Amino acid sequence: MADIIQLLPDHVANQIAAGEVVQRPASVVKELLENAIDAGADTIKLIIKDAGKTLVQVIDNGKGMSTTDARLSFERHATSKIRSAEDLFQLHTKGFRGEALASIAAIAHVELKTKQDTDDVGNVLVIEGSIVTSQDIVVTPTGTSVSVKNLFFNIPARRNFLKSDTVELRHIIDEFHRVALAHPGISFALYNNGSESFNLPISNYRQRIVNIFGAKTNEKLVPVEEDTEVLNISGFVGKPEFAKKTRGEQYFFVNNRFIKSAYLNHAIASAFEGLLKSGTHASYFLNLTVDPQTIDINIHPTKTEIKFDDEHTLYALLRSAVKHSLGQFNIAPVLDFERDPNLDTPYSYKKNETSIPKVEVDRSFNPFQEERSSKPRVASFKKEPTESWESLYVGLESKGNESKQDFSAISFESEERTASIFDEDKQVEKTHTTYQLHNKYIVSTIKSGMMVIDQHRAHQRVLYEDFLKNLTVKEAASQQLLFPLQLHFSPQDIVIINQLKVDLEHTGFVFSSVMEELVEITGVPVGVPESEVSIILEQLVSDVENEVPERHFSASDLLAKSMAKSLAIKTGQSLQKDEQEHLVNKLFACKEPNVSPTNRTTFITMSVDELDKKFI
Ligand code: ADP
Ligand code: MG
């Protein structure tokens, strides 16, 4: 028998390995930024075009490469960073596999320019799909510039698999943040499609966080410092009251490398126990420094996982360090020289006598008004109008036989008929056929029996179709605000808002300006309360960040869904009779009334037959 095993040709083997290292443009960003850091650069520029699909370029002022090294750097397993297996346990660099450049060059058009300080001229190399197409001498500053163009040009399947530009850019910015946060001693800039998105000068850690996440972050940070034999912890946690619904701002760095660890995350969460509103997550920016011998990062080239020798001790130390800081912050103000003095009590208030707090009781308080109601009330003393109970009996005499699925066949009880039952009762003002159950469902009689509608989902459907229509016809009505509304966002949120601006305008938003960290709004869609605007935009940004796009992803669809979600009547909100009816009517005027925008059932029906069966 002939031998059947063959060695894969190099370029095929390289493509396969590339799949491991390079999953998306953000992976290229990570590898190139890390190489620049390993080269000792203190100024690094990242240039992005079309979310990295057209271009990812990193320019550094590091030590550069010699002519031979420039050529060698693209060979697989060519690295200057380790010489033997033992070095793996003494890693002080980001890279060590010598795989990144080889992998990137296998699936993109790469141009490398590099010059060492001691040389007068540098080298320029062009490599396309692992093949060096040219090598020349070039006049270039000391350092290295790597341009990666047309990623996955030779693997169309991978290229098609990339997500929308918004999502890919989001991943790139995440990667950029992680690297920039781990290295405040290096200046970073990010240019996206020709405009500067971030410019981060060399600074201390607090300033770096503020430069990335916006000036407002400064007051939210509580310092954490702990130095023990096994580990050093330094950084900040966010004050509990600023905790967010999304897990965005959570960063662990171990020896300046961003890592993810559910276990250590849990340590922080437990330190915050009792301090956070449910459903919110504390932010943290924590650097752990440990002996490189006690960790193993050689798990997977792109994974941000790490193995610690003694996780339990780490957990305990981290938890207690964070608890300690939170305690200090809550009980006595910490002596923090970086603290913004404006945040302390102003002098004029210091001598003011404190007044005994008055207890005021809001008698009209309805604990079910909000979703996060604490305890159900045993009894309500508020006198409810009694007009609604009768609708329970309405229409039972008429048995229909509409099919359960066919919502178009659902016909509502007419009012005249219901009213007639109570003709002799003088109190009847107007009889309705809807009834609200537990401030969550709207029960309505239908010819065949009854229907139960989920008010939150139903309203989402109504709003979603409205917004979608406005987005397509582009002539939504807008209501002018008396005073412009100023909202603060972090620079990366602004990137997203800028991308959605045109669509948002089609729904009725009017932006007077979108600046680096501030959005000024002078008009909102009709019916959107001013107080909701910041919540809507925050939710929208977080939805875009966490979006898992389907193949036919459209920005308008996401926007409509997100706004519908924010604005829909919540579970727990009590509705007037006419509001209930209006909602039911609007729902059944929708194109797809039977499901919410996220495909959840909006209503169920129960026929009288089914009810009858229950009474056997
Ligand atoms: P690794 O970083 O794991 O060593 P890479 O494929 O990323 O592997 O890089 C290969 C080698 O090329 C590095 O070990 C380094 O010597 C050299 N190199 C890569 N990028 C740079 C850079 N920006 N400046 C100087 N040398 C670089
Ligand atoms: Mg590398």
Note the pLDDT tens digit of each residue in 416-454: 444 444 444 444 444 457 889 998 999 988 888 889 999
Atom 2 of ligand 1, nearest CA residue: 95
Kindly give the interhelix angle for 491-507 and 165-182, rounded to the nearest 10 degrees. Answer: 160
pLDDT at 469: 83
Compute the average pLDDT of residues 313-336.
Answer: 74
* CA of 173 relative to ligand 1 center, distance in Å: 22
User: What's the pLDDT score for residue 185?
Assistant: 95
pLDDT at 88: 58
462-490 confidence digits (pLDDT tens): 998 888 887 777 777 888 888 888 888 88
Determine the residue of 28, 31, 38, 83 to mutate for testing ligand 1's pocket, defined as the one with the most ligand atoms within 8 A of the Cβ atom: 38
Q: What letter represents residue 378's amino acid?
A: V
Task: Specify the pLDDT at position 29.
Answer: 97
Which pLDDT belongs to residue 531?
A: 80
Strand runs labelled E in 455-563: 478-488, 510-514, 518-525
Question: Among 71, 72, 73, which is best to mutate for testing ligand 1, by the most ligand atoms less than 8 A from CB?
Answer: 73
Query: What tokens were used for 280?
Result: 């919110």
Alpha helices per DSSP H over 183-333: 205-213, 262-271, 311-331
Q: Is the CB of 105 under 6 A from ligand 1?
A: no
On the question of pLDDT at 519 being above 70, the answer is: yes
Strand 434-437 to strand 478-488: parallel, antiparallel, or no bridges (unpaired)? Answer: unpaired
Measured at the alpha carbon of residue 599, what is the angle toward residues 598 and 604, in degrees to the nearest 5?
Answer: 130
Of all protein residues, the one whose alpha carbon is nearest to atom 9 of ligand 1 is 98
* Per-residue pLDDT reduced to its tens digit, 147-203: 999 999 998 888 888 888 988 999 999 999 999 999 999 999 999 999 999 999 999
Confidence of residue 560 (pLDDT cuts 50, 70, 90): confident
CA distances in angstroms from 300 to 19, 162, 297, 306, 404, listed in the order given: 12, 21, 8, 9, 52
Lowest mean pLDDT among 210-214, 346-350, 507-511: 346-350
pLDDT in tens, 581-602: 889 988 988 888 888 988 888 9
Does the pLDDT of residue 546 top 60, yes or no? yes
Instruction: Output DSSP code: residue 281.
Output: B
Local confidence band at 391 (pLDDT 50, 70, 90 cut-offs): very low
Distance CA 131, CA 215 (A): 47
pLDDT at residue 345, rounded to an integer = 40
pTM for the whole structure: 0.58
For a pLDDT cut of 70, what percent of the chain falls above it? 74
Q: What is the pLDDT of residue 443?
A: 92
Q: How much is the pLDDT for 330?
A: 59
pLDDT value at residue 80:
72
Q: With a cut of 80, say whether residue 85 has pLDDT above it.
A: no
Atom of ligand 1 nearest to the CA of 64: 25
CA distances from 241 to 249, 454, 492 (A): 14, 32, 22
Residue 319 has pLDDT above 50, yes or no: yes
The winner for highest mean pLDDT among 167-181, 218-232, 268-282, 395-409 is: 167-181
Ligand 1 atom closest to the CA of 60, numbered from 1: 23
CA proximity to 23, closest of 194, 155, 206, 220: 155
**Per the structure block, which two tokens stand in for 238?**
């966010």
**Out of 53-57, 132-136, 227-231, least confident range:** 227-231
Ligand 1 close to Cβ of residue 62 (< 6 A): yes
CA distance 450 to 110: 66
> What is the average per-residue pLDDT within 299-303?
55
Given pLDDT bands bounded at 50, 70 and 90, which one contains residue 302? low
Looking at every residue in the chain, the average pLDDT score rounds to: 79
Contacts of range 309-317, beta carbons closer than 8 Å, 24 or more positions apart: 310/230, 311/263, 313/230, 314/230, 314/231, 314/264, 314/267, 314/288, 314/290, 315/263, 315/264, 315/266, 315/267, 316/267, 317/226, 317/228, 317/230, 317/231, 317/233
| pLDDT value at residue 180 | 97
User: Over 90: is that where the pLDDT of 294 sits?
Assistant: no
Give the three-state DSSP class for 253: strand
Q: What is the pLDDT of residues 7-31, one digit of tens each?
A: 666 666 666 666 567 889 999 999 9
In the predicted structure, residue 312 carries a pLDDT above the cut 60: yes
User: Which numbered atom of ligand 1 lies nearest the CA of 101?
Assistant: 6
- Report the run of H or E that residue 353 belongs to, with start and end: none
Residue with the bigger pLDDT between 130 and 427: it is 130
- Considering 127-141, 276-290, 351-365, the range whose residues carry the highest mean pLDDT is 127-141
204-227 pLDDT, tens digit each: 999 999 999 988 888 889 999 999
What's the whole-number mean pLDDT along residues 92-102? 74
The total number of residues shown for the chain amounts to 616
Question: How sure is the predictor about 342, in pLDDT bands with cuts at 50, 70 and 90?
Answer: very low
Kindly report the protein residue whose alpha carbon is nearest to atom 19 of ligand 1.
35
| 453 vs 547, higher pLDDT | 453
